[in-house]
Chain A
Amino acid sequence: MTPLIIIVCYLGLLLALGIISSRSFRGTSKDYFVASHSIGPFLLLMSVFGTTMTAFALVGSTGKAFERGIGVYGLMASISGLVHAAVFFLIGIRLWVYGKKYGFVTQIQFFRARFDSQRIGYVLFPILAMLVVPYLLIGIIGAGKTVLPVTAGAFPDLFPNAATPQWAGGIPVWLTGLVICGVVMTYVFLGGSRGAAWANTFQTIVFMVMGLVAFVFIANSLGGLTNASKVAIQINDQGEVVQPYRWDAANNQLVANDPPKVVGRIIEGENDTAGSYSPRPLLSRQVTTVELENVNKKTGEVKTFTREYGMSTWMFLTYLFIPLSVGMFPHLFQHWLTAKSARAFKLTVFAHPLCILIVWVPCVLIGIWATGILPPLDPTKVSGVLGQMVARLVSSPILSGFLIAGILAAIMSSLDSQFLCLGTMFTNDIVIHKLGSGKLSDRQVILIARGFVVGIVTLTYLLSLVAPQNVFDLAVWCFSGFGALFPLVFAAVFWKRVTKAGAYACILAATLSWFYFFAKSGFGSELVLGPGIMPVAVCFLISTAALIIVSLMTRPPSEETIKKFFPDKAS
């Protein structure tokens, strides 16, 4: 019950912050959408970092490290540190300059002006919205899966939870999602982009600090860092997957399993080449395929499933295309535009890789250690690994409450920007564009944006009840779509010769190829091609080829457009 009280207090604090930020609201649509370009370096760093790190960073990274091991850090985190900072510096600053000079508040306004095409907005809007919605779902699902194990047993009569008996009495996923959506919607509704930036900064500090605190407490529970590193599952000489230790919940201590507990075995044939298999499969990236067993404690039923530890070199290489997605995130575009000056970007570009390091390394280690503590979990349940580790290993209910508040902070710091961004795009790129400029007062514009925020929150929440449940895989599909569209923004800021027709070809090629692979995956499961190639790499190459070929075959953009967007080269 104590953790729940702390979580409720935290959510109350956020609502208060939303109300306070609304007092700084200047009443103009520009202030609601881009905070009148008033955000300084620290707030920009925290809001940009908080926006890019969602449930994916805390809940997803821990779950994926539980499935594949240490390689997850290089796969997503260290490459993101390099590529995100590159995108902020090479593209973000340019877009901020164009936004400030030409008065853009949305990404679509930039593309309309750059490609001298009004219709491109109507093509892009549904695509961008379609890709942002799964991103929102990641947060809502991740929040629910984190709170459920921590609150288990608190309300046995209200939530008997027959589907997962071990978490009976816990706050169900649907209720957490509902509360989270309500809180985020309220402070976005009231404070707009300034409210989101303030809330993001507060929440980013909370989740970074709490992530480190969780790491320290979990490591201490496992007997210190050196001892914790021995806890992960191993493969013995007989090819059996074993847990050398177990968590004794009655005495709150780690005890050795003698003999080690067998939870699975390597699959003969899959591991017969290239030096056989890794005895400590989570500590390297060598591919080791195993069959794991999960025993249902209530029914005694044994469920088996296959798991691939490590990752192929092709998968590691082609994941490079995923972090490029930040260049096309419409909500990040909006955050960039809130910056006070180009120099405000400096701290973000430098510190972003370090912030990723601070958040991801502890999560990846916790995920690896969890393989020795928790039973083997199938892919639909790995999103709950962090919550389960906190629930089992952190005995203080007060601390558990703060840690869960930290996880929710990470999740909500992305949700707010995405909700706001969809409202901003709908209002500016569809409604105002259709009606024509000057037909609506600022007050009416803000009213429409707020109305759309309420609508999209409701729709997203309903979708979260039926969406696939693996947070990491769903996120990767969302990022893949934005990554496939990256050539569009790159060409828009660096290639004078790109044409309107080339832009349409790029959008069409990216969307069709992405949808083909998404459908092939069964709409949200993990999919790799051939030796481990990520679909995003293929989509990226197809969209790039379409953009270049069609641009070269069509008439170059006007000299007037080039002068606007390439002033240094044209003058």
Chain B
Amino acid sequence: MKNNGWIVWLGTLALLLLHQDFWFWDNYETEVFGFMPIGLAYHAGFSIVAALWWGAVMSFAWPHHLEALAEEQEEPISTQRP
């Protein structure tokens, strides 16, 4: 994550921009597969892309340093009143 962090943030920002699909905003005529309005089909596809994106992110930006920290010995912090 440390070295590839900027790719994660940049890619997520690009997806946030793609989410604002103003180009299908008033399209009520096109139906994908004969039943699904294009505005809905686009966002269904967006969900699949989001899954693939996070799948990819985990392969190139997995936080190994945090995982190593979790493997270390537990050091309970008391958050109770002394």
Contact = CB atoms under 8 A, between A and B. Distances in A.
Contact of A313 (B25, B28, B43, B82): B25
B28 A71 contact: no
B51 A351 contact: yes
Given A103-B74, A436-B81, A82 B16 contact: yes
A275 B35 CA distance: 25
A567 interface: yes
* Residue among A70, A118, A229, A278 facing the most chain B CB atoms (10 A cut-off): A70
A307 interface: no
A284 B80 contact: no
Contact of A101 (B27, B63, B70): B70
Interface string B48-67: 10110111011000010111
Contacts of A343: 67
A279 interface: yes
Interface in A345-364: 346, 349-354, 356-357, 361, 364
A357 B48 contact: yes
A527 interface: no
B46 interface: yes
Interface residues of B, number: 52
A364 B40 contact: yes
A74 interface: yes
B47 A357 contact: yes
Interface stretch (A13-21, A92-100, A413-421, A456-464): A92-100
A529 interface: no
A280 B28 CA distance: 6
A256 B31 CA distance: 21
Given A342-B67, A433-B80, A74 B19 contact: yes
A317 interface: yes
B7 interface: no
Given A353-B47, A353-B50, A101 B81 contact: no
A113 B77 CA distance: 7
Contacts of B66: 93-94, 97, 342, 568
B19 A82 contact: yes
Contact of A78 (B47, B75, B77, B78): B47
Interface string A64-106: 0000001101100111011001100110011011001111100
Interface string A141-183: 0000000000000000000000000000000000000000000
A320 interface: yes
Given A351-B51, A433-B80, A89 B25 contact: no
A354 B49 CA distance: 9
A437 interface: yes
B28 A284 contact: yes
Nearest to B40: A70
Nearest to B82: A436
Contacts of B44: 73, 78, 357, 361
Contacts of A70: 37, 39-40
A389 B64 CA distance: 49
A74 B21 contact: yes
B50 A73 contact: no
B34 A226 contact: yes
Contact of A283 (B22, B39, B42, B69): B39
Contacts of B2: 568
Given A278-B26, A283-B39, A350-B58, A109 B51 contact: no
A82 B13 CA distance: 10
A341 B70 contact: yes
Interface in A281-328: 281, 283-286, 313, 316-317, 320
Contacts of B76: 102-103
A100 B28 contact: no
A121 interface: yes
Interface in B1-43: 2, 8, 12, 15-16, 19-22, 24-29, 31, 33-37, 39-40, 42-43
Given A284-B24, A285-B25, A286-B25, 7 more contacts: A96-B70, A102-B76, A102-B77, A275-B26, A284-B27, A316-B20, A357-B44
24 contacts: A70-B39, A70-B40, A74-B39, A82-B15, A82-B53, A85-B50, A93-B63, A96-B70, A97-B66, A101-B72, A101-B75, A102-B77, A118-B79, A229-B37, A283-B39, A346-B58, A350-B58, A353-B48, A354-B51, A357-B44, A361-B44, A365-B35, A436-B81, A567-B69
Interface of B: 2, 8, 12, 15-16, 19-22, 24-29, 31, 33-37, 39-40, 42-44, 46-48, 50-51, 53-55, 57-58, 63, 65-67, 69-70, 72, 74-82
